[in-house]
Structure 1
């Protein structure tokens, strides 16, 4: 009898543990969609202040669970997305510049684009690196440096686009360059707006 009672008690204990674990899983699963929706709404609201809200929301919402509702992580992700796209575009600029038979003016414009797109990548990398090292004690100075570098990256991208102005520059190189650089410029503009917002609302490390 004592053995039977012991086994009965053990069975009840196992059932209670299983019930508690199942309840935890159900509650966690129920909270997850709510939390992620809150994160998505935060990103959408933040992007609404940018010049290109749809691009901003589309490029950042897939990282909603990573960003959570952190202004710093929002800026970090925006810089990272822009940097990755800039690196890809910079490599494409090099490939186009090596195409044989380019007109002299197009070739010169491509050379300029290769140079400034490389500068843009460097400036975005510096910005991202500085954001990783930001603290409450160096916030004001560091965020100012980041704003300067991202602004410079945007200027570089505009310089590349300007180099292809005029009908005489029409062709594959101009079409491809403008399409890619304009997208990068929009991503950079979006990142700069979020950085400026972060700078104006934060007085210390969050």
Structure 2
């Protein structure tokens, strides 16, 4: 029988080259660059998170400030305006959630007259707070320009009013004879919303320093 040689089958040279390449490609040097990049750990930006932590020290609730804003570090970077804007957004989301809860409680429970009146007033208070925070966020989009002082004063006024409305809501439940469960449920949400708004106001005040 005639012996098998590559000289009689030119295509086997190509096969030999492919086998050689496959052997060398078992090492990482032959991996596509895209795959190598994916294997590298994603590096965080410590300057952004440190900026947020340092800035939050001017607030009354620095831990809450950092915990709620650190996830926005990639957007905030080291920009005070973006920091204040993020704080306002977080406050607005909490205020909306609180307002929805109070409204639900006002419709789903059998309350005594005084309790019903307190919850009804709280519905209005939290709704006003949401409106004022929405105006504040809108104002944040146009702070630059020659009227900066005027605009920042309006912004501070709206956020302060939102904070006052949250506090007024809680004042309605002072005294004895109120449903303890309803009072505690609303108090827990109002306290958190007030703290977030307070933090946002402190960060906004820093823009005018």
Tell me whether the two structures share a fold, i.e. TM-score over 0.5: yes
TM-score, scaled relative to structure 2? 0.79
Partner of 2:9: none
Task: Say which SS state the counterpart of residue 167 (structure 1) adopts.
Answer: coil
Name 1:13's counterpart in structure 2: none
Give the counterpart of 2:187 among 178, 184, 198.
178
**Structure 1 residue 52 and structure 2 residue 75: aligned?**
no
- Give the alignment's TM-score, normalised by structure 1: 0.80
Quote the offset at 1:101 in angstroms.
1.5
Alignment of 1:33 with 2:54, yes or no, is no
Q: 1:93: Cα distance to partner?
A: 0.8
- Give the aligned length: 177
Task: Indicate the residue corresponding to 1:144 in structure 2.
Answer: 153
1:94 aligns with 2:94: no
Following the alignment from structure 2 to structure 1, what is the Cα–Cα distance between the partners of residues 179 and 120? 16
Larger Rg: 2
How far apart, CA to CA, are the structure 2 residues paired with 1:167 and 1:197?
40
CA drift of 1:197 comes to 0.9
Instruction: Identify the range of structure 1 (92-101 vs 189-198) with the bigger mean alpha-carbon deviation.
Output: 92-101
Q: Which runs of 4+ in 1 moved over 2 A?
A: none
Tell me which residue corresponds to 1:9. Answer: none
Alignment of 1:1-206 (within 5 A): 33=43, 36-200=45-209
Separation (CA, whole Å) in 1 of partners of 2:189 and 2:122 = 12
In structure 2, runs of 5+ residues without a counterpart are 1-28
